[in-house]
Amino acid sequence: MTNQHYGQFCGLARAAEIVGQRWTLLILRDLTVGPRRYSDLVAGLPGIPTNTLATRLKELEEAGVVTRTAPHGTERSVVYALTPRGEELRPALDALGLWGAGGMREPREGEIVTTSSITAALRVAAGDGVVPADWDTTYNVRVGDVETHVVMQGGRITADPGLAEDADLEIMAGPGIRDLLAGTLTPQDALASGAVQIQGDPALFDRFAETMRVPYSAHLPEPGAPAAVSG
């Protein structure tokens, strides 16, 4: 690997050597959503230099975190995917995403959402993914141009890219969906303010908001509140 070593026989130091490089965490986030071709990764990571992407993928392969499958059949492109060791990073990536979201309010200038970022956020919101076994509900979730869906079925919650056919509820939202998931915006206020629009049974929207609520709002300053200063 070309990464600089920290010179410490320490698990955290070794992990930082592998995943602490610029863009690496976002590459891994995208691969937790599913296998990707090189072109898919480029499209899903606007702004990443192609030489940086190639270098990071090589480093992750050398570390045993990512594998690539050569073209076969009708597939003409190499496909990158997480190895079992790479899959072990999923809880850590989710935890980091949850921690980072705790300091977010409105997008900064130039910031965008991507399919993988929204899918990963919904996966974090699903938590342990356990719901009553008799639930059988599918939600299509659109955030700007990004399309994803959430399924609550068989006692589990899953979140995946793309829209599902015959969804029970259509949810259209902007950045305000973050406050809905944080519990700082009620479903009723989200609809009344226009932060979220739905097509379908409002009771299913209430269920979505309650089930997908995440705890990162606990330490988030109120809008306009001074930031804490440590010395």
CB 155 within 8 A of CB 130: yes
The answer as to whether 99 is a domain residue is no
Which residues 6+ apart lie within 8 Å of 84 measured at CB? none
Q: Would residue 151 count as lying in a domain?
A: yes
Range of the structural domain that residue 64 is part of: 11-88
CATH number at residue 189: 3.30.1050.10
Give the 3-state secondary structure of residue 42: helix
Asked if the structure places residue 144 within a domain, the reply is: yes
The verdict on 82 and 140 lying in the same domain is no
As given in the structure block, the two tokens for residue 103 are 């300091």
pLDDT tens for each residue of the chain, 231 residues long:
455 789 999 999 999 999 999 999 999 999 999 999 999 999 999 999 999 999 999 999 999 999 999 877 777 789 999 999 999 999 999 999 988 888 887 888 999 999 999 999 999 999 887 899 999 999 999 999 999 999 999 999 999 999 999 999 999 999 889 889 988 899 999 999 999 999 999 999 999 999 998 765 444 444 444 433 333
Structural domain ending residue among the three candidates 88, 106, 129:
88
DSSP 8-state assignment for residue 20: -
Are 46 and 40 contacting, i.e. CB atoms less than 8 angstroms apart? no
Whether residue 52 is contained in a domain is answered as yes
Question: Do residue 122 and residue 213 come from a single domain?
Answer: yes
Question: Are 119 and 212 found together in one domain?
Answer: yes
- Same structural domain for residues 173 and 119? yes
Q: Are residue 138 and residue 209 in the same domain, yes or no? A: yes
Domain final position from 88, 123, 139: 88
Asked, for residue 110, whether it belongs to a domain, the answer is: no
Specify the pLDDT at position 216: 54
Contact residues for 106 (Cβ-Cβ < 8 A; gap 6+): 175
Looking at the structure of the chain, the number of domains it has is 2
Q: Are residues 61 and 150 in the same domain?
A: no
Q: 84 with 119, same domain?
A: no
Where do runs of H (alpha helix) occur along 34-186? Answer: 38-44, 50-62, 84-87, 90-101, 115-126, 177-182
